[in-house]
Amino acid sequence: MTRPFRPLAARRLAAAALAALAMTLTSCSDNGSGFDRESQIGANPVLPKPAAYLVTPINLAKPAPFAKGETPSVAAGLKIEAIASDLAHPRRPYVLPNGDILVVESGSPGTEPPLRPKDFAMGLAFKYVKSGNKPGNRITILRDTDGDGSPDARGVLLDNLNSPFGVALVGGDLYVANTDAVMRYPYTAGQAKITAPGVKLTDLPAGINHHWTKDMVASPDGSKLYVGVGSNSNILENGAGSTERERAAILEVDRATGAYRVFAGGLRNPNGLTFYPGSNTLWAVINERDEIGPNLVPDYLTSVKDGAFYGWPYSYYGAHIDPRVPPQYQRPDLVAKAIAPDYALSSHVAPLGLAFDTAGALGAQYRGGAFIGEHGSWNRGQLNGYRVVFVPFANGRPSGKAITVVNGFIGKDGKARGRPVGLAFDAAGALLIADDGSDTLWRVTAGQ
């Protein structure tokens, strides 16, 4: 009864199975380099079909921060210098009316528990790209005492904050948006340290804070604060319902009472909240969803309309349905009213900072346009972002192609010399760039 073993047959089967597996894996590893990224910049981006991966494309730029004396590169007619270094993970600059510069030094509160085997793997991967100083959870103040444009005095204005990001001065009140609450501190011009305990204006949606940055801007009349609250997940993988309540939204907080309402929704991770100068139009840059393809979904710059819905999680760019939302959760009513944003910035660039140039001190061509800090991609083979781009504006609307104005954050070796985050214009009309990759505050001025 014994049948002789035929090792070849079994080995061939196993080899065929492994070959099929290898093909399945590699056929999915499109790194996005064959795609024209320019086609995703502007009002009507090309949107490829959603992809589903066995292994989502990951390319993390290992940190190798700028050495002393090294700088990013700038477009012709501009120059750049470091005006503060060795900061503790600077995320957002903010310029006070007297010219003092605040730098919010912050990082994730780390309150998102890993729930799946994947979360542990991703946690390890992202540890690999952590760089520089431990996030300070504080606000540093820089002052130019000799009037040469470069600050020469430095101190800690506020310490022991809880993953702060947004900051706004209205009259004598300095507001700080921590990851869990908006705090108010009394502030007089020239004050270099705040010792008064803050008063909580309102709690903010918190919990696990997957997207933890709460950017903030005051309305032009000072009566309201607008606070960006990112989603608690990429695409509902931390649960729907209460986990995502009042998230992926911009909240409008009444400055007098602290009461808030959802001003606009469906904005996966809104940052760079800024009113267009001289208008009541709120603009923001939004990080769109990941793991649906190297060229999906383009991050964007948009004006934010009162009561508008921008799609997340159900759809993107209007009615493009995300197939990962369970049918039980789908909301055709919301998809029907989802509006497409104004201006796509290309996929996975991670815009976190936005500032409009009102002074025109960098050159007439920049006057009135938007500068955007792109922190850089992880979810595509070919890196994208890691730069500051400029979008020209006319009549308060984007009017042309984005151009790169500050570059060189990725070295020739493919490592990250720095990563731009928040932006601001200082009293002299120079562009300030917070760089949390090299713990530096950069200042861009006109010149050679």
Partner 1 sequence: MNATVPAARIPARSVLFIMLATFPVVCFAGALLTDLAYKASPVMQWSNFSAWLLAFGMAFAVIAAIFGAIARFRTRAMRRTLADTLLAVIVVAVLVLALINNLVHTRDTWQSVVPTGLTLSLLTVIAMGIAVILYLVGARAPVAEKPVQQTTIREDAA
Applying CB under 8 A, the residues found at the interface with partner 1 are 1-7, 9-10, 13-14, 17-18, 20-21, 24-25, 52-56, 115-118, 233-239, 291, 323-329
Q: How far is the CB of 120 from partner 1 (least distance, A)?
A: 10
Distance of CA 53 to the CA centre of its chain: 24
Rounded to a whole number of angstroms, the minimum distance from the CB of residue 303 to partner 1 is 29
**Residues 65, 67, 68, 69: is their CA dihedral positive or negative?**
negative
Please say which residue, 15 or 336, places its beta carbon nearer to partner 1. Answer: 15
What's 227-261 look like in SS3?
EEECCCCCCCCCCCHHHHCCCCEEEEEECCCCCEE
Kindly tell me which of 236 and 434 has the beta carbon lying closer to partner 1. Answer: 236
3 vs 437: CA distance, rounded Å: 65
How many other C-beta atoms lie within 10 A of the C-beta of residue 238? 18
Q: What is the dihedral of CA 185, 96, 263, 214, to 10 degrees?
A: -70
Q: Give the C-alpha distances (Å, rounded to integers) separating 259 from 95, 156, 182, 225, 254.
A: 27, 30, 11, 10, 5
- Quote the CA–CA distance of 27 and 57 in Å, as a whole number: 11
CB of 42 to partner 1, least distance (A): 28
Of 133, 122, 128, give the one whose Cα is nearest residue 415.
Answer: 128
**Buried-state track 88-123, b at ≥16 Cβ within 10 A, e below 16:** bbbbbbbbbeebbbbbbbbbbbeebeeeeeeeeeee
At closest approach, how far in Å is the CB of 386 from partner 1?
25
Residue closer to partner 1 (CB basis): 237 or 254: 237
Q: Which is nearer to partner 1, 238 or 438 (CB)?
A: 238
C-beta closer to partner 1: residue 4 or 147: 4
Structure tokens at 198: 């803050």
Residue 300 Cβ vs partner 1, minimum distance, rounded to whole Å: 20
Of 137 and 234, the one with the shorter C-beta distance to partner 1 is 234
Q: Nearest Cα to 289, choosing from 207, 208, 348?
A: 348
What is the closest distance, in whole angstroms, from the C-beta atom of residue 326 to partner 1 in the complex? 4
Min dist CB 207 to partner 1, Å, is 15
Closest separation in Å from C-beta 3 to partner 1:
5
Separation between Cα atoms, residue 52 and residue 408, nearest integer Å: 32
Q: List Cα–Cα distances, 227 to 174, 231, 255, 263, 388, in angstroms.
A: 15, 13, 12, 9, 23
Question: Cβ closer to partner 1: 11 or 305?
Answer: 11
CB closer to partner 1, 68 vs 116: 116
Residue number with CB closer to partner 1 (202 or 315): 315
Q: How far apart are CA 138 and CA 132, in angstroms?
A: 16
Work out how close the CB of 238 gets to partner 1 at its nearest, in angstroms, rounded to a whole number: 7
51 vs 361 by CB, closer to partner 1 = 51
- Closest to partner 1 by CB, 17 vs 403, is 17
Q: What element of type H or E holds 101?
A: strand 101-105
Give 123 or 186: the residue with its C-beta nearer to partner 1. Answer: 123
Half-sphere exposure of 211 (CA within 13 A, CB side): 28
The CA–CA distances, whole Å, from 203 to 185, 268, 389, 405 equal: 15, 20, 34, 38
With beta carbons less than 8 A apart as the criterion, state whether 73 and 101 touch.
Answer: no
**Which residue is associated with the tokens 């903030």?**
216
Decide if 345 contacts 308 (C-beta within 8 A). no
- What's the min distance (Å) between Cβ of 291 and partner 1? 6
Residue 321 CB, nearest approach to partner 1 (Å)? 11
**Residue 233: CB minimum distance to partner 1, A:** 8
